[in-house]
Amino acid sequence: MSNSGMPISRLATGGAVLLGIAMLANGAVMLAQPQSWFWSVPGVPATGGYNQHFIRDIGLMYVLIGASFLIGTKLHAGRAALWSFAAAWLAGHALFHFWEVAVGICGSDAIPRDFMGVTLPAIVAVLLAARAWRTEARPV
């Protein structure tokens, strides 16, 4: 990927940096300290038993998502694709949480509990990806 293309706004860049750092940090903790992560994140123990392998698998996804947002702040060409793939996973994850409430796996208290860690990152990611596509679509 080259660094050609249009720059993105400072607000979008700042949002991507914050989201990237948060996702990368979450993933790093999931990889390095899966048991501590499991017991310290509200609601996680209620979703099933501790499984360090599964937590590390998902932790790797968070590291890759965080890296995608951070790399996308520097690369203009390809940013939209990087951010879109990351946003797709985060949005799917958030929708899965809503589905669990809809079918009765989790109570409705999961919606506000999960907002900051699941739903909000997905919303921000989708907005950033949409912004990146609009920026990338502009003629240079």
pLDDT per residue over 26-85, tens digit each? 999 999 999 999 999 998 998 889 999 999 999 999 999 999 999 999 988 899 999 999
Helix (H) or strand (E) holding 107: none
% of the chain beyond a pLDDT of 90:
82
Residues 118 and 94 sit within 8 Å (Cβ to Cβ): yes
Whole-number average pLDDT of the chain: 92
Q: What confidence score (pLDDT) does residue 135 get?
A: 86
Instruction: Quote the CA–CA distance of 115 and 132 in Å, as a whole number.
Output: 24
Closest CA to 89 of 107, 68, 74: 68
Q: Which residues contact 130 (CB under 8 A, 6 or more apart)?
A: none
Closest CA to 91 of 51, 118, 64: 118
